[in-house]
Amino acid sequence: MGQVQRPSVLVRARPDLDDDLASARAASARAAAAAALASVVAAASIHLARATPPAIAAAASASEASGYVGVGLEVYVAPDGYPTVIEFLPTKTSGPAHDAGVRINDKIAAVNGAETRAMRCLADVASALRGGGAGGDAVELTLLRRRGRTTETVAASVTRVGGITPNPRSCFVSSCARV
């Protein structure tokens, strides 16, 4: 019995099928990119949700009505994971942290030697900065400060004080805390 010879040349009857195939591949690549982006956004949302549990808002509103003991900062968790200073309390130009040399946009790397990025959430950072509720004791901060293209490490000793009453319009996002 003889074998049947198959032609080695592929003849395309419909060139428009190539265009359909290219369109289908492009649509598939766009769908894969959209799925990857959705995964990243979901992971970031989970991180933000972990960073600010609802208990912070309830505890903050109850304790801040008459003032609280703290270092006079408003911080949020930046995308790099560091709590970042966004405002001074009780006013924008005064307060214990301001007087100790802390600046807006300083990143808090450590509180009393404990690394902030290793802390579980923003509530833990707030607790470390506020302490046990007693004023007068010092908090040792290790700050990261941008200077042009470089970042320098700065040490600051801030004394906790009582009676800090923040501006009610401050802390406008759920991922920040007054400390």
Q: Which of 48, 42, 41, 118 is nearest to 78 (CA)?
A: 48
Q: Answer yes or no: are the C-beta atoms of 178 and 89 closer than 8 Å.
A: yes
pLDDT digits (tens, 9 = 90+) for 4-44: 666 555 555 555 556 666 777 777 777 777 676 666 555 54
Look at residue 142 in the predicted model and tell me its pLDDT: 95
What are the structural domain ranges in the chain? 52-178
Dihedral sign for Cα atoms in the order 172, 104, 163, 134: positive
In the predicted model, what is the mean pLDDT of residues 62-72? Answer: 68
Cα distance between residue 114 and residue 103, in whole Å: 20
Q: Is the pLDDT of residue 176 over 70?
A: no
Class level of CATH domain 52-178: mainly beta
Q: Say yes or no to pLDDT of 45 above 60.
A: no
**Helices 122-130 and 54-64, interaxial angle, to 10°?**
30
pLDDT, residue 52, reads 42
What is the rounded CA–CA span in Å between residue 130 and residue 10? 76
pLDDT for 170 beyond 70 = no
Distance CA 146, CA 141 (A): 16
- pTM for the structure as a whole: 0.59
Round the average pLDDT of the chain to a whole number and report it: 74
3-state helix, strand, coil in the chain (%, to 5): 35, 30, 40
pLDDT higher than threshold 50 for residue 56: no
Asked whether residue 82 carries a pLDDT value surpassing 80, the answer given is yes
Give me the pLDDT at residue 150, please: 92
pLDDT, residue 63, reads 46
If you average pLDDT over residues 41-51, what whole number do you get?
46
- The 8 Å CB, 24+ separation contacts for 135-141 are 135/69, 135/159, 135/160, 135/161, 135/162, 136/160, 136/161, 139/71, 139/111, 139/112, 140/111, 140/112, 140/113, 141/102, 141/108, 141/110, 141/111
pLDDT at 130 over 90: no
What is the predicted pLDDT for the residue at 53?
Answer: 44
Is residue 72 predicted with pLDDT exceeding 60? yes
* pLDDT > 70 in the chain, percent: 60
pLDDT of residue 47: 42
